[in-house]
Structure 1
Amino acid sequence: MNKVIVLLMVFCGLAFAKAQQTPSPQPVSKDSIIKSPAEYFYVDGDSINAIELNSVLLLQDLKFESRYERIKYLILKRKVLKVWPYAKLAAERLTVLDQRLSSLRTKNQKKKYSKMVEKYIEEEFTAELKKLTKTEGQILIKLIHRQTGDTAYALLRRLRSGWSAFWFDKTASLFDISLKEEYSPEAVIEDFYIEDILLNSITDDKLEDQEAAIEFDYFKARKNWKEYENNLPESYDSIQLSARAQRIKEYREKKARKAKRNKK
């Protein structure tokens, strides 16, 4: 899984410069309002100094009716905060590499250069990427789509070959990760949670901003989430919380057995 993620970070960086940028709601840091040159307006013979400010996106905190959904959101928040820097850093650092790649004339030169880039990224990121869980890896795949406009599978297919894309997709599936996963806040509740976490964290200066390469309507997604919450069955929380408690119990028992084996 880690090999797949590393390669994807290489390819998303190489393709990022080609991605078409489309507007999405952009929160503005509380301390980052940029002032334009002063203009003067004259009212009744008096001059008034005026400046134009950037627009600011104000977001209300989500008010959960479901306790389980709130727990999901908080767990997801921790994972998004951990993964986002990788998605952003890969895009920022590797965009410039696309310029170099486009200047090479032969396939052999491009292949050698791609191998060199791959080695560089592996050396820089592999140690940290090994710490990612399956869930965090899937979130990173979605954020790659958010930042490049292409699914991870499409990037592999275009920048390597169809066979490589197929092979890596099958490998990733062994770890319950889909390289074809798209980022769709309007249709997928988890993706809406990710977007809400990103926008709020950027506004609060917890994360650095980077414009999305795909178009979506945050407020439409928020409306869809509210309808989803309102239509949850009454037994939803009790069933989901009970299942979660069982998963935690099984995880702890598995961890204890592993620790016991390691002591022998």
Structure 2
Amino acid sequence: MKFTLFTFLICSSFIQVLHAQIKEYVPESKDKTAPKEMIIIEHDTLVVNEITLDEVIVFQPLRFESKSEYKTYLILKRKTRKVWPYAVLAAERLETLNARLEQLDSKRKKRRYTKRIQKYIEGKFTDRLKKLTKTEGQILVKLMHRQTGITTFDLVKELKSGWRAFWYNTTASLFNISLKEKYDPYSVKEDYLIEDILRRSFKDGVLDNHDPAFEIDYLDLVELWQNKKTEAQQAD
């Protein structure tokens, strides 16, 4: 079944007011006038220029227990890369909308601007969102939470009434899609794999890098799941 029911929800979620910030990393510029460190050895003076190195993550080779596990990972990678641009768009549009609404001085102007943004997004992306499968739709819901820090359920709740959000979530449950789903790579293995896919895709230049709305330490995450795997093997 295609992900048709929640096309309106995702598009509508783009226009809600929330405190989501996209933080881009900007490397510090080198100050050529900064004092140089000098080391004196046996009356000889050595001038040492300060060197700042960017942090580099060395990704470990992926290992799979079976061909089936490897195939599952490849499918997850394809689906994650497919829906990532929509999650990024959601966060960016919400941030832009918030900034613009703060400049408007009347409710009428705010409503008109909100409707205009909604029509633009729906006109440009509705047809694409309709083609998502239910699995891709659930991944999108998770990534929406990663990028905005708020669940799709709460986004809908802000747009509509609490009852309407409850109804949407109940209907979604019939198709194994939860709008309350959070992105939790520290507890859910699939979310950890999604985060791994994103980080590797950022490094390879396949996807544009956008930081999450909340802190995710990738190295700690890898270590955590390696320890879990070791403990499971020892238990067997």
Q: Distance in 1 between matches of 2:16 and 2:37?
A: 48
Amino acid at match of 1:47: V
Cα offset for 1:191?
0.3
- State the secondary structure of the residue aligned to 1:231: helix
For residues 66-90 of structure 1, give each alpha carbon's deviation from its aligned partner in whole angstroms, at most 9, with x where no partner exists. 4332221111001111111111123
Mapping of residues 105-184 of structure 1, within 5 Å: 105-184=105-184
Higher mean Cα deviation, 49-58 or 137-146? 49-58
Asked if the contact 1:6/1:125 (under 8 Å) is kept, the reply is no
The question of 1:43 aligning with 2:39 is answered yes
Asked if the contact 1:13/1:94 (under 8 Å) is kept, the reply is yes
Q: Distance in 2 between matches of 1:78 and 1:33?
A: 31
- State the secondary structure of the residue aligned to 2:37: strand
Asked if the contact 2:88/2:210 (under 8 Å) is kept, the reply is yes
Q: Distance in 1 between matches of 2:151 and 2:90?
A: 15
Q: Which residue of 1 aligns with 2:101?
A: 101
Q: Distance in 2 between matches of 1:224 and 1:184?
A: 13
Q: Which residue of 2 aligns with 1:225?
A: 225
TM-score by length of 1: 0.72
Q: Distance in 2 between matches of 1:172 and 1:214?
A: 26
Amino acid at match of 2:37: F
Count how many residue pairs are aligned between Structure 1 and Structure 2.
224
Asked if the contact 1:66/1:229 (under 8 Å) is kept, the reply is no
Cα offset for 1:119?
1.1
Q: Distance in 1 between matches of 2:14 and 2:124?
A: 16
Cα offset for 1:148?
0.7
Q: Distance in 2 between matches of 1:160 and 1:107?
A: 17
Mapping of residues 20-39 of structure 1, within 5 Å: 36-38=30-32, 39=34
Cα offset for 1:116?
2.1
Asked if the contact 1:12/1:144 (under 8 Å) is kept, the reply is no
Q: Which residue of 1 aligns with 2:13?
A: 11
Cα offset for 1:131?
1.8
Mapping of residues 180-195 of structure 1, within 5 Å: 180-195=180-195
Asked if the contact 2:12/2:159 (under 8 Å) is kept, the reply is no
Identity %: 46
Cα offset for 1:35?
5.5
Unaligned segments of structure 2, at least 5 residues = none
Q: Distance in 2 between matches of 1:168 and 1:107?
A: 27
Cα offset for 1:91?
2.0
Q: Distance in 2 between matches of 1:86 and 1:122?
A: 12
Change (3 A) 1:103 1:175: farther
Cα offset for 1:63?
1.7
Asked if the contact 2:20/2:95 (under 8 Å) is kept, the reply is no
TM-score by length of 2: 0.80
Unaligned segments of structure 1, at least 5 residues = 233-264
Q: Which residue of 1 aligns with 2:196?
A: 196
For residues 27-74 of structure 1, give each alpha carbon's deviation from its aligned partner in whole angstroms, at most 9, with x where no partner exists. x9xxx9776234433233343333323222222133222433222111
Change (3 A) 1:183 1:197: same
Q: Which residue of 2 aligns with 1:210?
A: 210
